[in-house]
Structure 1
Amino acid sequence: MELNALLDLLMFVSACLLLLSGFPVAFALGGTALVFAAIGISFGEFDADFIALIPERIYGIMTNDTLLAVPLFVFMGVMLERSRLAEELLESMALLMNRVRGGLGISVTIVGALLAASTGIVGATVVTMGLLSLPTMLKRGYSPAHAGGAIAAAGTLGQIIPPSIVLILLGDQLSSAWQSAQLEMGNWSPEPLSVGDLFAGALLPGLGLVLLYIAYQTALAILKPDSVPLHQAATDGTSPTGDIQNVPLSRIMGAFLPPILLIIAVLGSILAGIATPTEAAAVGAVGATLMAGHRAGSQDTRAVYAAGIGLAGLLLLNQFFDLRLDQEDAGPVDKIAVLSASLFCGLIIWGIVVSLLRLQGQKVLQEVMQNTTRISSMIFVILIGAALFSLVFKGFEGDEYIHEFLSDLPGGKLSALILVMLVMFVLGFFLDFIEITFVVVPIVAPVLLMMDINPVWLGVMMAMNLQTSFLTPPFGFALFYLRGVAPESVKTSDIYRGVIPYVIIQIFALILLWFWPELTTWLPEVIFRSAS
């Protein structure tokens, strides 16, 4: 083995060992890269000019428009988590499903999907759902295995249902890899790959996964009725024999309408081409602030409703009119549109200011800002460390060795893809999705994309593969999150036993995507390609 290949291998193994030891991720990646770069320079196997590229890499990360969506979506998710959105959704959904056997389990799945589409943060969703619904499900007669499995599986839907932080980071990394792969193949004008493409590609598989979960829970209620009760008491203490006619319509609408409107505003604006993912993330952050402000002062809702109207009006005006202020040939209609947009902006500012003052008074805003800053800083520091790691890895010609290894595998593209998916699945037991996305994807994605693999399909397969890994015993991250908030009466073995059917569903969904990649590629083609 050549010396630079040996150093590549040792660097990767050393980084993995440091990560498994609990050493901070960013420093493990960056520190390992610098140490091995120094070793390579001393042996004459590494060009020191690669180190000079580090400031340029960092500047590129910090000025990346796509990555601006990360702190905005994190803010949206944390704000919704602190506004007790999940609690209201669960209570209302349980009332709606009161006469359905296993209805509370189905409610958990539906609420998990709504939270996934509203927040995109897996750990927070699992913990929130575990704290709110697990004690209730156990009290209503659900078996610990079924309750734990349903909650853990629903919590991981944030990995695949857009807008997902995983998809944003994967989209950024795959976009760079796609450009590099196309240039290597001689295509000097490659078709761009955006985060919006991944969002559209993941929408049908994500919703299909929700339907598969519900189908399993329905079948379980029919085949094993002892594990799930027929009548549940409503979570507000009303009679278990109550029905939907006794539930105020205003309560149902109040719980479901705001998150659904927020999902439509965020995801719909991306898919309709009205806004980029970063712009849509800003809309989501504003919407989450207004929703939390409404909850904080429900007696006076004028400012919040006015801001909601202003936000919707601004999105519509942006779709049909040119709102730039420096237009030289603006006609009367354009001027009216700009004036209307200014009025809508004033309404939005009014609502945001009122909401922020209410949240500050209840000491919610400070906690949200601290958590958002902490999570966003962690992501970007890891990204900088991973960029340094991948730079040194390429300096040792590691990308060429990976390309040769995967290309020479018997079975060609099929074997290479299976091997990469298996490696990512196993790494998902020990590493977070951020580390895998920033370390593994930049190394293997260009090689796979040069084998004529659709980048949208590859991204969705990777996201669902990681979701399956986070759910698989004994090391799945979602299981650890749930174990941390579960009552002592729920054994770890109960959680493991409960998630196994959902892991099988996940594998079945991956097989479907494998044989029918059109499930991921059809919607992006219809939305983005046909429009162009």
Structure 2
Amino acid sequence: MIADYIWPISMLLALVLLLFSGYAVGFVLAGVGIAFALLADVPTVFLSMGVQRIYSGTLTNWLLAAIPLFVFMGLMLEKSGIAERLMRSLAALAGRLPGGYAFAVVVIGVVMAASTGIIGASVVLMGMMSLPAMRAAGYDMRLATGLVAASGTLGILIPPSIMLIILGDQLRVPIGDLFMGAIYPGLILSGLYFTYIVLNAIFRPSHMPAPPQTDGVPVLHAVLSLARDLVAPMLLILSVLGTIITGVATPTESAAIGALGATLLAALTGGFSFGAFRHAVFETTKTTAMIAFVMIGATVFSLVFRRLGGDAMVADLFHFENVSPYVTLAMIMALIFVLGFFLDWVEISLVVIPIVAPIVASLDFGMPTSDVILWFAIALAVNLQTSFLTPPFGYALFYLRGVDPTIPIGTIYRGVIPFVLIQMAALILVIAIPSIVLSLPHSMR
């Protein structure tokens, strides 16, 4: 049987080896695809299909225009200083209690996830604002770093999420349904983080003590400051998500509203300047180019991989007689979790998901295929969130290490373990109770 699939197996091995070599992912994907097309004597004219797919699926895809707009929105919000003021208001209010700074970090993580969705910016910003305060208060740095890294990755799940846009494009699922389906899982995951903090505050208060003395800010003043600082991001979130969910605007149009709103907020708060605008445009262009180039490379790789029998190989790998479909789904999720140790969510979404999605769609879960794909997509989003936290290549870990190089990387690794387990618990809940994902999209139809 292995001999029947020697070409696709060789492609996968070559892909893994070259990814570890440090070459750009887009070059690796496209290069491996073209090289094996030549080695396997695939007709050159077949590759012209890849050009057509790249043009129609990536370069002229109106939906993907939402990606640079959402990236720009997040970067402009970062420049507006809203998150910094919100953190100060939360710290003044919650920092009086054991675990107060930890609660503030999770709240900021949720707000930034729903308003920016930029993982690197969220982790770096929260790390810079919260780690010095938590260290001064005597927090266990394993807990502190794990909490900042995990809270900063909520933007990959809570809409508007760039990953959900790409998954919707790959799986042909309406973005509005994906955004609605992700709301409850995102809130559940945030709630599990809160529960973990509460348990630590009760049973291990020495790991997250209250500051020895407060700054003397009156409670009423702290509450009013918090309410004031929440107004702007909440209005932006409601304007973006509300127009998508209600069908008033497409995701791309809503992203444009968000980009304009973030720019106006930056101007009103004094954070707008030509330098800030130039930086936001430059970073948006880099991020968008990276995603687009990976999509182009993944298109070439997937086209050749399927031509050489890769899809049949994967189908045989997950084909079991008289086995519950949940067992097959669990194996697929386990594979994606392991791949998250070594690959970024972009590569997994663009290379692996299109291959395994038809397998999941063919399984009988007792619900319509459209619901199965929607449920599967959100479960994937929860699963792929762990790829930011799992060593050796978890990006959130290195973002955090860059914020404070004095923290040993081993401390950060140990700190994220409880939060990876919490994410796995959330994944199990989503798989075991599909209504967590499906109830809100169904109620809006």
User: Do they fold alike, i.e. is TM over 0.5?
Assistant: yes
* Aligned match of 1:463: 381
Equivalent position amino acid for 1:223 in 2: F
* Aligned match of 1:264: 238
For residues 507 and 80 of structure 1, do their structure 2 counterparts lie closer, same or farther at Cα, with a shift above 3 Å needed?
Answer: same
1:385 and 1:487 mapped to 2: Cα distance?
34
* Aligned match of 1:152: 149
2:174 and 2:38 mapped to 1: Cα distance?
36
Aligned runs of 1:252-291 on 2, under 5 Å?
Answer: 252-291=226-265
Mapped pair 1:513 → 2:430 = yes
Mapped pair 1:168 → 2:165 = yes
Mapped pair 1:108 → 2:91 = no
Secondary structure (helix, strand or coil) at the match of 1:364 reads: helix
1:252 and 1:232 mapped to 2: Cα distance?
22
Residue pair 2:360, 2:373 contacting (<8 A) in 1 also: no
Equivalent position amino acid for 2:273 in 1: L
Shift of residue 444 of structure 1? 1.0
Equivalent position amino acid for 2:422 in 1: I
Runs of 4+ displaced beyond 6 Å: none
Q: 2:185 aligns with which of 205, 214, 235?
A: 205
Shift of residue 4 of structure 1? 6.5
2:2 and 2:132 mapped to 1: Cα distance?
58
Equivalent position amino acid for 1:57 in 2: R
Aligned runs of 1:377-396 on 2, under 5 Å?
Answer: 377-396=289-308
Secondary structure (helix, strand or coil) at the match of 1:247 reads: helix
For residues 206 and 248 of structure 1, do their structure 2 counterparts lie closer, same or farther at Cα, with a shift above 3 Å needed?
Answer: closer
Shift of residue 409 of structure 1? 6.3
Aligned runs of 1:37-56 on 2, under 5 Å?
Answer: 37-41=37-41, 46-56=42-52
Secondary structure (helix, strand or coil) at the match of 2:215 reads: coil
For residues 515 and 211 of structure 1, do their structure 2 counterparts lie closer, same or farther at Cα, with a shift above 3 Å needed?
Answer: same
For residues 38 and 412 of structure 1, do their structure 2 counterparts lie closer, same or farther at Cα, with a shift above 3 Å needed?
Answer: farther
Shift of residue 241 of structure 1? 4.5
Shift of residue 133 of structure 1? 1.2
Mapped pair 1:292 → 2:266 = yes
Deviations 1:157-198 (A, max 9, x none): 1111111111111111111xxxxxxxxxxxxxxxxx211111
Shift of residue 86 of structure 1? 2.1
Residue pair 2:8, 2:310 contacting (<8 A) in 1 also: yes
Q: 1:84 aligns with which of 66, 72, 81?
A: 81
Is the radius of gyration larger for structure 1 or structure 2?
1
Residue pair 2:343, 2:387 contacting (<8 A) in 1 also: no
Mapped pair 1:216 → 2:130 = no
1:447 and 1:143 mapped to 2: Cα distance?
44
Deviations 1:271-320 (A, max 9, x none): 122112111111111111111111227xxxxxxxxxxxxxxxxxxxxxxx
Deviates more, 1:501-510 or 1:471-480: 471-480
* Aligned match of 1:184: none
Secondary structure (helix, strand or coil) at the match of 2:269 reads: helix
Mapped pair 1:6 → 2:6 = yes
* Aligned match of 1:59: 55
> Between the two proteins, what is the percent identity of the paired residues?
45
For residues 410 and 20 of structure 1, do their structure 2 counterparts lie closer, same or farther at Cα, with a shift above 3 Å needed?
Answer: farther
Residue pair 2:389, 2:416 contacting (<8 A) in 1 also: yes
* Aligned match of 2:416: 499
Shift of residue 3 of structure 1? 6.3
RMSD of aligned Cα (Å):
1.9
Secondary structure (helix, strand or coil) at the match of 2:138 reads: coil
The number of equivalent residue pairs is: 438
Mapped pair 1:397 → 2:397 = no
* Aligned match of 1:313: none
2:307 and 2:4 mapped to 1: Cα distance?
9
Deviations 1:322-357 (A, max 9, x none): xxxxxxxxxxxxxxxxxxxxxxxxxxxxxxxxxxxx
2:416 and 2:64 mapped to 1: Cα distance?
33
1:85 and 1:119 mapped to 2: Cα distance?
11
2:316 and 2:248 mapped to 1: Cα distance?
42
For residues 504 and 296 of structure 1, do their structure 2 counterparts lie closer, same or farther at Cα, with a shift above 3 Å needed?
Answer: same
2:6 and 2:321 mapped to 1: Cα distance?
20
Deviations 1:10-33 (A, max 9, x none): 112111211121111111000110
* Aligned match of 1:117: 114
Secondary structure (helix, strand or coil) at the match of 1:163 reads: coil
* Aligned match of 1:426: 338
2:245 and 2:162 mapped to 1: Cα distance?
17
1:503 and 1:383 mapped to 2: Cα distance?
28
Deviations 1:222-274 (A, max 9, x none): 111111122476xxxxx43533224383x434421111111111111111221
1:232 and 1:388 mapped to 2: Cα distance?
59
2:413 and 2:86 mapped to 1: Cα distance?
26
* Aligned match of 1:24: 24
Residue pair 1:4, 1:40 contacting (<8 A) in 2 also: no
